[in-house]
A and B are shown apart, each in its own frame.
Chain A
């Protein structure tokens, strides 16, 4: 693996500054677009989530949290949704 990395480095692949630029842009635009959306993006998403999930289980709508989480080279959408009860599913 180390040998392959060395070759990649020699050939200027993957860690080229262009690749770095693309990655950084991709991540920053996730935040930019979310923050400049005409409606409050996360609130709208929350409401949609509640509507969909409520079909399957009873959830604590007040405690529901949806946030973006940053790590080194990715952005994740984290939803923390406390479940109160499952709806009883019956096969017929």
Chain B
């Protein structure tokens, strides 16, 4: 078997890389694929707590590349979902504890056994970023509709192109339809226009994400969650299905509607 290695990256921190990795991985596993999530944020690991697997870590990615343990020993099997595994980052080492060369061989090794290898990239563009993208076949760039995030995403896309990553696709995260409607948040089209990159999904802001992270249960298992629904759709697009984009609920009030009608009339 030869799977696909996807790196989830963004440049800016706090835009939802880890949440995206956890949810897409879980969604793919729920669809029956064999998936491993790799946390490359050495020194600041978090994918383990987001997945609720923090108590089961024995070995980590640095142990694997230094051959202190076998790859199989370091991977944690998620008992809730068939075929879902986590390779945690080391918490006490530094980013330089792993080299891009080692990441390439690790990715090649994992590809043999898994359908999807999802790599959670640290924030920044230094060594951690270089490690994370080294073995990747494709990149998913996560950006929120904010000036700082879009700017950093643009820089990241440039670096991915320079590194020769052929396919990069954009996930717009934490969009707030109400703010978009009243002209206080950049819309999907604005961001695509600026970044000139293919869109693979839009995830609305959703309180369920906070709750699910509190519990260590990815939002995709909650069928009432809008973000969960958005992530499940992205997972289906990843495997090549044509899935329509979610209609985001604008919760239009009477005043909004009146204002919109005025706007149309003034055109």
Is A33 within 8 A of B154, CB to CB?
Answer: yes
Q: Does B57 contact A (CB under 8 A)?
A: no
Contact A25 B194 (CB under 8 A): yes
Partner of A18, one of B158, B187, B259, B263: B187
Q: Given A32-B154, A32-B155, is A16 in contact with B147 using a C-beta cutoff of 8 Å?
A: no
| Contact status of A18 and B190, CB under 8 A, knowing A7-B266, A11-B262, A12-B183 | yes
Q: Is B158 touching A29 in the complex (CB atoms < 8 A)? A: no
Tell me, yes or no, whether A28 is within 8 Å of chain B by CB: yes
Q: From B259, which residue of chain A is reached at the shortest CB distance?
A: A11
List, in ascending order, chain B residues with CB within 8 A of A21's CB: 146-147, 186
Does B162 sit within 8 A of A, measured CB to CB? yes
With an 8 Å Cβ cutoff, the count of chain A residues facing the other chain is 19
What's the Cα separation between A21 and B182 when bound, in Å?
A: 14
CA distance A13 to B266 in the complex (A): 11
Pairwise interchain contact A22-B154, C-beta atoms closer than 8 A: no
For B150, list chain A residues within 8 Å (CB). 25
Is A73 an interface residue, CB under 8 A from the partner?
no
Instruction: Tell me which of A11, A13, A32, A38 contacts B151 (CB under 8 A).
Output: A32
Question: Which residues from B are CB-within-8-Å of A22?
Answer: 186, 190, 194
Chain A: minimal CB distance from B130 (Å):
16
From residue A83, how far is it (CB to closest CB) to chain B in Å? 36
Known: A36-B155, A36-B158. A25 touches B183 (CB 8 A): no
Residue A17 at the chain B interface, CB threshold 8 Å: yes
Chain A contacts with B in 1-47, Cβ cutoff 8 A? 7, 11-13, 16-19, 21-22, 24-26, 28-29, 32-33, 36, 38
Nearest residue in B to A16 (C-beta to C-beta)? B183
Q: Which residue in B147, B155, B183 is a CB contact (below 8 Å) of A13?
A: B183
> Do residues B158 and A24 form an inter-chain contact, with CB atoms below 8 A?
no
Q: How far is the CA of A29 from the CA of B158 in the complex (A)?
A: 11
Q: Flag if A11 contacts B263 (CB, 8 Å).
A: yes
- State the Cβ distance, A4 to closest chain B Cβ, in Å: 9
Task: Give me the 10 closest cross-chain CB pairs, A-B, nearest first.
Answer: A16-B183, A17-B184, A12-B183, A18-B183, A21-B147, A11-B263, A18-B186, A22-B190, A25-B147, A21-B186
